[in-house]
Chains A and B, each alone.
Chain A
Amino acid sequence: MGRSALMGKLVKAEFRKILSTKLWWGLLIVALLVAGSWAGMLSSVFDGIAAELSGSEVMRLAGLELDEISFSVVFLTRAINIATIFPMLFGGLAIASELGRKTITTSFLTAPNRTMLLGAKGITYAIWGAIYGIAIILAATLGIVIGTGGDHLVGFTTWLATAAAGVLSCVLWTLLGLGVGALIGSPVGTVIVLLVYGLALGPISDLVFTGFAEGDANVAGALPNGAANGLTGSTAADTLAAEIQANATGMSSVSSDLLEGFQDTARLAAGGLGSFGLFASAAIFLAWAMLFLALGLWRTQSRDIT
């Protein structure tokens, strides 16, 4: 029997493991709620602000027509970034919960070797990361449609690019979580470490580093959280900047500074603080995910199951 046939069996077993308990379902529901409500709430609030600002002095000076700018894309990426917490936790528990419940014993005994088992988990959880990603994007999009009343929708190509980046981000967060879980080994420890980094340490360090760098690309963009946000945020920020540029018909020396300010604000709002751009961010985040997967594999190889 070939290696790929063996791998197929292990992947099938992993799918059965996931589908025979409720974790995937519980985390997915919460991810959808968070993505949808976050996108809906932010876009709804901004829609109101936009209505107030429309035709104001500043806007006239800059020559900007807010209705012409697909600012909703910012909320799409924001919603994705916050919801990636859940696929990350899902991946984190892949091996950690097996170690915690000692089902890892049987998993090791029925797999040809540990490397193949981890390979099968990697494939399975990459697929599940994509499932989470697609679901999260659909929920966030729905949230924006509801939040803006359908007035300020994202252009299709922008949406597609952001969606693709979002799915990739979810896949990589899941794999990074998988590696961290395998490295730490305890389910509780894994969840705590991932949550503390994803919700507090990552965003705060991004802000601090970017503050020192005065908004330029910096070390924050090279860290996992910054790189992930750069992956999802770059498309949105570039789209917005371009639209603002194209829309700024009443260009003047006064509005030139203002325009730059708008563009910076758009980048900031879209996330991706200190990011190195779309492809560099993708490559950096991929490297982080692979590093943690490799560390997890190394730790799993040497772990004594007593």
Chain B
Amino acid sequence: MHDGSGRIEVRQLSKNFGSVQAVANLSFTVEPGSVTGFLGPNGAGKTTTLRMILGLVTPSEGTATINGLPHDKLGHPARVVGSVLENEGFHPKRTARNHLKVYAAAIGVPDRRVEDVLAAVGLTEAGDRHAGGFSLGMRQRLALATALLGDPQVLVLDEPANGLDPEGIAWLRTFLRDFAKQGRTVLVSSHLLAEVEQTIDQVVIISHGQTMYYGQLDDLRNAQRPRVLVLPSNQDALSTALREEQISEIEPADNGRLAVMNTSARQVGDIALRAGVAIYGLEERHADLENLFFQLTSGQYAAAAPQQYGAPHGMPYGTQPSAPYGAPPGAPYEAPPGTPYGPPPGTPYGAPPHGGYGPPQDGWSQQGTVPQPQGQQPYQQDEGNTGWEGQR
């Protein structure tokens, strides 16, 4: 029996398709009560990883578990985890309502649950239309409705924003945040950080099938401190003058510029004036996640070997005081000493507001706002006899 924790654990996961290594020694944990972004460029191995978590693809090495068990040992998997995967899984000639009825039967929830989830995603009116005539956005909504049928504890979504209009994306964002607030788990993949930045708390960034960063999004934001980019007439003279003023974190940047940390443009300008160095350009840079994300993942298509800042083999993330990730070569970014990649020790992952996510018999879903129409008994997840059958 699964542990009801709502935790997704990926341990040293690898997958080879023939000679192609899609995922290489990936490890991370997704905690309940938070939305975790799973980010990486297209082809980085996100979909393969999610499909290994869901038991659709067999790992070459390592394990992926939900609630401590692989997917095929969960017993009632759809009541534990729901997923929105690629836009394909519908028979074009089957109506949306019939599609949901098929899987309601397989999961063992009553047919009125079909109406609940149709309403939850706004497809009630379109329920009797064939899925083959649906737009991409409607198919995404139907996929989400299918995922919600079993009132799952964990949601896994692969690029869910694809095909959604801005209104749909905003709606999905609110939906996922609410879902996580109930102490449930959300893992959402995207190739665009900006798309999910406002939704996620935690982030796993992968590139080339390997973990580039794993931890709180805020830590990633804080890790990149403001810097000043300066184009001086004489780099050596300016560097010397800055060091004399105890400003010693200086790096060469692109186009003959210097990147100076822990200072302001005004201070750099004043020091340059005193040192008699001409300034041709001066610019303050603040934390830019998208840029950082690009740097972390651009190695995939660059000539430089991605292994350079790859995952430490056989090392679980978050257990090391300072993981040895170097910055990408030439990138004006440097991890501050003592700031490990990975969740900082003692930082709770968004502890659930209402005493958290208990084992199923605690009736976690009763706190829920997710598709439970008024006047109906809340669905209580139970492996025994108080499930749907008990209410019939």
Residues of A participating in the B interface, judged by any CB pair closer than 8 Å: 1, 6, 9-10, 12-13, 16-17, 20-22, 101-114, 302, 304-306
Contact = CB atoms under 8 A, between A and B. Distances in A.
23 contacts: A1-B108, A16-B98, A20-B91, A20-B99, A20-B101, A21-B91, A102-B88, A103-B89, A105-B89, A108-B55, A109-B71, A109-B81, A110-B77, A110-B149, A112-B74, A113-B72, A302-B58, A304-B58, A305-B51, A306-B47, A306-B51, A306-B56, A306-B57
Contacts of B107: 9, 110
A20 B72 contact: no
B10 to A, nearest CB: 17
Nearest to A115: B72
Given A105-B88, A108-B55, A110-B77, A20 B106 contact: no
Given A17-B102, A302-B58, 20 more contacts: A1-B108, A9-B106, A12-B105, A13-B102, A13-B106, A20-B94, A20-B99, A20-B102, A21-B93, A101-B92, A102-B86, A103-B90, A105-B85, A108-B56, A109-B71, A109-B78, A110-B106, A110-B149, A112-B76, A304-B51
Main secondary structure of the interface of A (DSSP, over half): helix
B268 interface: no
B295 interface: no
A305 B83 CA distance: 14
B150 interface: yes
Nearest to A15: B105
Contacts of A113: 72
B383 interface: yes
A304 B102 contact: no
Contacts of A6: 108
A13 B72 CA distance: 19
A182 to B, nearest CB: 16
B146 interface: yes
Contacts of B71: 109
A181 to B, nearest CB: 16
Contact of A102 (B89, B106, B146): B89
B233 interface: no
Contacts of A108: 55-56
B101 A16 contact: yes
A114 B70 CA distance: 13
B272 interface: no
A109 B74 CA distance: 11
Contact of A103 (B81, B91, B108): B91
Looking at B77, B106, B383, the one whose CB has the most chain A CB atoms below 10 A away is B106
